A = this chain, B = another copy of it.
């Protein structure tokens, strides 16, 4: 309210910038939620698979030698799953296996089994098609620009976090 009484250009500009920052965060969250919710529904319908389980398999697929539980937790992209519980369930289904870490005999690593790798690949192929379909119709230039800008924001957030730490 008080701000409206001080309509200097600098003030207006600062208020606009504030609104833009807040708006970009709410749009990021809303857009991300919309896609996440569709992916969740389709994974469930098509494969009876939860998003946190799919995410865990995705993280393991990138590292053939496997990951320790703490590394795995740190890499997860979605919240809402207990990593130990998810690993237990996937191990019972034969998709992942726990093994002693060759570098540290007291520690355990989790890795994909061959069946896990095959199962993940077929789900990941469909998942990619869903995402491609969701963005289909938007100009390639918009997508490329969005990738570029999000890349800058990510780098900026990482750097500013190091400053605070």
- List the one stretch of A86-94, A101-109, A112-120, A137-145 in contact with chain B: A137-145
CB-CB under 8 A from A38, the residues of chain B are 161
Q: Taking CB as reference atom, which chain B residue is nearest A55?
A: B29
Task: Please determine whether A20 and B140 come into contact, CB atoms closer than 8 angstroms.
Answer: yes
Contact A149 B142 (CB under 8 A): yes
B29 touches A147 (CB 8 A): no
Residue A8 CB within 8 A of the other chain: no
Number of copies: 2
Of the residues B17, B25, B35, B160, contact of A157 by C-beta under 8 Å: B35
Shortest beta-carbon distance from A58 to chain B in Å: 10
13 more CB-based (< 8 A) A-B contacts, given A28-B150, A32-B32, A35-B157 = A20-B135, A23-B147, A24-B146, A24-B147, A28-B28, A29-B32, A29-B36, A33-B78, A79-B80, A138-B153, A138-B156, A142-B149, A146-B153
Contact surface of A with B, Cβ cutoff 8 Å: 17-18, 20-36, 38, 77-80, 128, 131-138, 140, 142-147, 149-154, 156-158, 160-161
- 29 A-B contacts, Cβ less than 8 Å apart? A17-B140, A20-B135, A20-B143, A21-B128, A21-B132, A21-B134, A21-B136, A24-B135, A24-B143, A24-B146, A24-B147, A25-B131, A27-B147, A28-B32, A28-B35, A29-B32, A31-B153, A32-B32, A33-B78, A34-B154, A34-B157, A133-B160, A134-B157, A136-B160, A137-B160, A138-B153, A145-B149, A146-B146, A146-B149
